[in-house]
Structure 1
């Protein structure tokens, strides 16, 4: 069975370009809590700090290599995305008054109660765990021989894609504008695809299923009904189901990379359990990373 050469993460629903996000709006008047979807502004270009990739990498002119020296700017972009996605409380004018709380809610996540929303406004999340995972994954993928690239994915509507034939993991330049939580899930998703390739014997092999849980859900069905997967084979659909159903488990792909890939081997994979992909961010070894899975089904 033949695979297409790319495996994609689709941007959460909105415009055909996948450039809008779903937020939640909570209106609180006394004990009344009403939740409704809110379409917010699209992603910005996020390209000004990109350095063009070396010609030696044989990448497209619009691609830019994501090198370790550029990660500081990447995290600044994530900071800005986190600020924009923080819950905000505003007063409702007119008779009756009340308070409206606007916050980002991923599709499939359970709406928050008034108490939970007020707590979020008072104590916004720090996304420290997501930052640890992002740093660890970027380091681990480079050690395996993956070329990290910031550039428009070949598949229209995708936010990121794994291209096994060239060992390129391509991320849309504005992906970091969505904030740390979305970026960590996206990178975790694509790293699962890298492990699926390694399990086929080589880093540059077409991914094959790992046997990960694939619980049925309406969110997963909607995700895989997108045009990005219109021509997907049955096996490719299983590969994507595994990635979407498990990318909320932010430490999972690190475990899978250690188990199935051999660091520094470039194109060769390994199925031996216990293989380590080196150390994580700073002095934190990957073998000690334990990040609890965020609640809720996978985002679209």
Structure 2
């Protein structure tokens, strides 16, 4: 049985530091763009028969800050800075022999790139329009179904984000956006799958149950689930985490699942302000709550 105190967490997967340095064509430089399923062009509709619960406002901790639509411009500015810092770059290698090194973001399990592929990546840096569209749609949809989005340190040590069903809070570490749009979109997709797992039981605040999604095994997935953050997870908890990890790269999936299993809460519009400029006036998230971007560093140990 899943313990009611359990929180369903996302940890930064192995290989998520900002880049790898080495000679062009070297194995250490392996990396490629994330292959994504296309984002659904259809509008977000909802279906399902479960009864909506009263949307009681959770009590936030002093270190938490609600991520409301008016706060999104600052979040997206932070994502911009993370994307810029993660762009592939060529730098000369000092010392005898010279040569160049390429620094870029590498996703776990990606096949090595050739030197010519790496150079093309530098010449044509990846754009993240699809990831931004997913992030915007998920933020809107999660609010619409009654989820409270919070920027604050997760309760579970080593997690980058967590879904807390008992309070219907999705908590995101304040520096998560420093890792850029691709990492943030995958993280948010992962947690949204957990929300859909809760909704599938009949209510948003229920403990997540498996949805029957494919769970192909892989060395990358095994490493993610063997992290100490899951050391005390029960077999049932591990199944729902395995389901979320195995499918979080399909960035359109959680939107489909939320539409299928969750029902919007009356009065929740989820309207986004991500396209507006961030400001310092009333209602804006204090800069201290979204710290200046810093290198992501190694994954939690």
TM-score category by the smaller chain? Answer: 0.7 to 0.9
The match for 2:23 among 9, 24, 27 is 27
Separation in structure 2 between the aligned mates of residue 246 and residue 281 of structure 1, nearest angstrom: 28
SS in structure 1 opposite 2:133?
Answer: helix
Identify if the C-alpha distance between structure 1 residues 210 and 195 changes in structure 2 by more than 3 Å, giving closer, same or farther. same
Aligned to 1:84: 85
- d(CA) in 2 for partners of 1:105, 1:244: 17
Alignment of 1:210-289 (within 5 A): 210-264=211-265
After TM superposition, give the deviation of residue 93 of structure 1 in Å.
2.7
Consecutive unaligned residues of structure 2, counting only runs of 5 or more, are: 31-56, 275-298
Q: Which moved more, 1:147-156 or 1:218-227?
A: 218-227
Quote how far apart the aligned CAs of 1:5 are. Answer: 2.9
Distance 1:225 1:37, change over 3 A: farther
* Matched position secondary structure for 1:90: strand
Shift of residue 92, structure 1, vs aligned partner: 2.0
Where does residue 2 of structure 1 map in the other structure?
Answer: 2
Residue range with higher mean Cα deviation, 94-103 or 166-175? 94-103
Q: Quote the Cα distance in structure 2 between the aligned partners of 1:160 and 1:174.
A: 10
Output one character per residue of 1:196-246: Cα deviation in whole Å (capped at 9) or x when no partner.
000011000000000001100111111111111111111111100010010
1:228-268 deviation line (CA, Å, top 9, x unaligned): 111111111110001001000000000000000111169xx
Find the aligned partners of 2:204 and 2:95 in 1 and give their Cα distance. Answer: 60
1:201 counterpart = 2:193 = no
Provide the rounded CA distance (Å) in 1 between the counterparts of 2:125 and 2:157: 34
Q: Relative to structure 1, is the Cα distance of residues 278 and 65 closer, same or farther in structure 2, using a 3 angstrom cutoff?
A: closer
Q: Which residue in the other structure is 1:129 paired with?
A: 130
Higher relative contact order (Cα pairs below 8 Å, separated by 6+ residues):
2
Aligned pair count? 248
Contact 1:12 1:21 in 2 (8 A): no
Q: What corresponds to 1:36 in structure 2?
A: 28
The separation in 1 between residues aligned to 2:111 and 2:207, in whole angstroms, is 35
Instruction: Say whether the 8 Å CA contact 2:66–2:148 is kept in structure 1.
Output: yes
1:67 maps to which residue? 68
- Secondary structure class of the residue paired with 2:26: strand
Q: 1:112 to 1:26 in 2, by over 3 A?
A: farther
* SS of residue matched to 2:160: strand
Q: What is the TM-score normalised by the length of structure 2?
A: 0.77
Deviation at 1:123, TM superposition (A): 0.8
Contact 2:66–2:150 (CA<8 Å) still a contact in 1?
yes
Task: Name whichever structure is richer in strand by fraction.
Answer: 1
Question: Is the Cα contact below 8 Å between 1:87 and 1:102 reproduced in 2?
Answer: yes
| Structure 1: segments with no counterpart, 5+ residues | 15-19, 39-55, 267-276, 283-298
Residues 147-179 of structure 1 show CA distances to partners (whole Å, capped at 9, x for unaligned) of 000000000000000000000000000000000
1:79, 1:179 within 8 Å by CA — same for their partners in 2? yes
Is the 2:64–2:152 Cα contact (8 Å) retained in structure 1?
Answer: yes
- Cα offset, 1:108, TM superposition: 1.6
Q: CA deviation at 1:75?
A: 0.3
In 1, the alpha carbon distance for the partners of 2:260 and 2:204 equals 13
SS in 1 for 2:239: helix
Alpha-carbon distance in structure 2 between the residues aligned to 1:63 and 1:202? 25
